[in-house]
Structure 1
Amino acid sequence: MNVRPTPLSVRPARAAFLGLALAALVGAACSPKPAALTDAERLAKGKEILVKAAQRAASAQSLSLDVAQEVTRDAPGGTRKTQKLTNQVHLRRPDRLHMASKGDLQRDFWYDGAKATIALHGEKVFGEAAMPNTVDGAIEAITTRYDVPVPMAELLVTNAPTFLGEAAGGAGWVDTVDLNGVKAEHLSFTTGETKWQVWVSQGAEPVILQAHIEYGARKTKPTHHMVFSNWKFNDTFADDMFVAKFGDDYEGIAMLQRAEQVTEAKDATAIAAAAPAASAPAAAPVAKPAAAAPKAH
């Protein structure tokens, strides 16, 4: 004969279960919390994470990535103007770089180991300038002397791990966040008058997922917000990827260095050991005159 258990017959089991649950809760509440990091420990942790991501990019013989970018800077009349771009970056060390930009600016940039060529497709103009013979030197020259932004140039040069490890100050590691479904370490640094935040993916092969940089020393106080995707390390490219291509109807114009960019360069990019071109006179034009510049490459 089956006998239904009475309430009294189940009380011991239920009590035992509740006792175990209560003990677990009490144990969890009483277990020591991880000690809060000191400021020095946060900075050290942040640098370690950043340098690891930088080493991965710096050691790659080639790489490609996509960058969604918003650049906001002071404009006439006391306003701020925002420019939105989508960039494709293709880099092959030691001496090849291509960037294609679309959005508010239609632009291509090619570097072939000897010169840089920039084509503005909306205006149908192009310019050329002599460059150092390495990607590092070209990035330094084009960003600081000609004010052509290279998305997160600080992380593409080969000396980035050393530079960042020595120069980065500020808060360091901030916290761990969920960034569009990906666990990321949020970092914050200050280098001179430049403030920047970086979000780095967790794991053995970290990449930069997002960055926000405020260039306080520059005249127009620009801020760059960038979202990185489609990182491909040791990617392969056809040689003509780095050969300038534009129509015969494009007009050649001279590229002039901007003196203020040379002055402000110290706070803008990781140029610590880059090109000797930085010592050239600030206002000297290095591009070919329009009449001498070839129309097709």
Structure 2
Amino acid sequence: MKSETFLRTKIRAMLGGATMAVLLLAAASAARADDAANVLKSMTDYLSNQKTLSASFDSDIEVITPELQKIQFASSGQMKLSRPDKLRVRRTGGYADVELVYDGKTISVYGNNAKSYVQADLPGTVDQMIDALQARSGVGLPGTDLLFSDAFDVMMASVLDGEHIGLGVVDGVECEHLAFRGPDTDWQIWIETGAKPVPRKYVITSKTLAGAPQYTLRIRDWKTDAFTDADTFVFKPPAGVTKVDLDSSDMAEFDELPPGTPSGAKK
């Protein structure tokens, strides 16, 4: 009888301990998710509060071939932003040398390799321009969510859960490493520690394509100085270039991937 009582007591203790462990794990998981969201919010608040921003970046986009081989294409560029309605981005890769200029009224995209450019009237803010550009092109523009004035809401819109992984080092800079999961994509971001919580690395992983291709963005040389050049956001077509329509075959020269390449990870 005593042995049965002892056994029941031991089982209750084990069950109680297991329940407590589950509760503690759940609480820890919730705490990590809250911590991840708070760190991300500090970054987006810092970026959105800056009147002007400039940075340089390196990007890698992966594609999966029909033979299931993973190929990575690399490019580099620079970004200049003046809120709320001016943006200039230059991206140079092995297959495209493209510059986008937006002055709050007109968007201009110039392909140096194609020696042609497209223009469209698009009055509004940088946020509205990015939304319109994505809607017209039908493709995602990975990394542009960092530029939105409401970047936190945009980035967290489809997040299922998040976790503060810990510390990491990117290009010699100590960063907070965060990981988030969504229905179609998972993404990670490394945010500089200290008074200037800027993003240093951003990785987007597609879960809907075999091989889980990734888009990786490394950002450096962040500056918040005002732009002194009055022509920073003025597009001046180089001599001898041609203006083309959005449906022109020349638009293929504007892509960072060579023609015929299957699209890779895009958020």
Same fold (TM over 0.5): yes
Letter in 2 for 1:192: P
**Residue aligning to 1:241:** 232
State the SS of the aligned residue for 1:240: coil
Report the number of matched residues.
226
Separation of aligned partners in 2, 1:112 and 1:156: 15
Letter in 2 for 1:135: V
State the SS of the aligned residue for 1:41: helix
Identify the match of residue 121 of structure 2 among 110, 118, 130: 130
Query: More displaced, 47-56 or 164-173?
Result: 164-173
Separation of aligned partners in 1, 2:63 and 2:76: 18
Which runs of structure 2 are paired with 1:82-93 in the superposition (5 Å)? 82-93=72-83
8 Å CA contact 2:188, 2:202 repeated in 1: yes
Query: Deviation digits for residues 129-185 of structure 1, max 9, x if unmatched?
Result: 232411101122224432677562111100112334554333321121233432211
Instruction: Report which of the two structures shows the higher radius of gyration computed on alpha carbons.
Output: 1
Query: More displaced, 161-170 or 99-108?
Result: 161-170
Q: Does 1:54 pair with 2:44? A: yes
5+ residue gaps, structure 2, are 1-23, 249-264
**Residue aligning to 1:98:** 88
State the SS of the aligned residue for 1:52: helix
State the SS of the aligned residue for 1:44: helix
**Residue aligning to 1:120:** 111
Letter in 1 for 2:52: S
Separation of aligned partners in 2, 1:253 and 1:214: 34
Separation of aligned partners in 2, 1:84 and 1:176: 26
Q: Does 1:197 pair with 2:226? A: no
Q: Percent identity?
A: 23
Query: Deviation digits for residues 60-106 of structure 1, max 9, x if unmatched?
Result: 11110111111123456655443211110001111111001123221
**Residue aligning to 1:184:** 175
Separation of aligned partners in 1, 2:64 and 2:244: 26
**Residue aligning to 2:63:** 73
Query: Deviation digits for residues 19-53 of structure 1, max 9, x if unmatched?
Result: xxxxxxxxxxxxxxxx9871111111111111111
Query: Deviation digits for residues 243-282 of structure 1, max 9, x if unmatched?
Result: 223323212221149xxxxxxxxx966xxxxxxxxxxxxx
Letter in 2 for 1:146: S
Separation of aligned partners in 2, 1:205 and 1:154: 19
Note the C-alpha offset of 1:194.
Answer: 1.7
TM-score (norm 2): 0.74
Change (3 A) 1:142 1:218: farther
8 Å CA contact 1:172, 1:187 repeated in 2: yes
TM-score (norm 1): 0.67
Query: More displaced, 184-193 or 158-167?
Result: 158-167
**Residue aligning to 2:5:** none
Separation of aligned partners in 2, 1:132 and 1:181: 40
Note the C-alpha offset of 1:58.
Answer: 1.1
Letter in 2 for 1:200: I
State the SS of the aligned residue for 2:191: strand
**Residue aligning to 2:10:** none
**Residue aligning to 1:231:** 222
**Residue aligning to 2:100:** 109
Letter in 1 for 2:80: H
8 Å CA contact 1:51, 1:164 repeated in 2: no
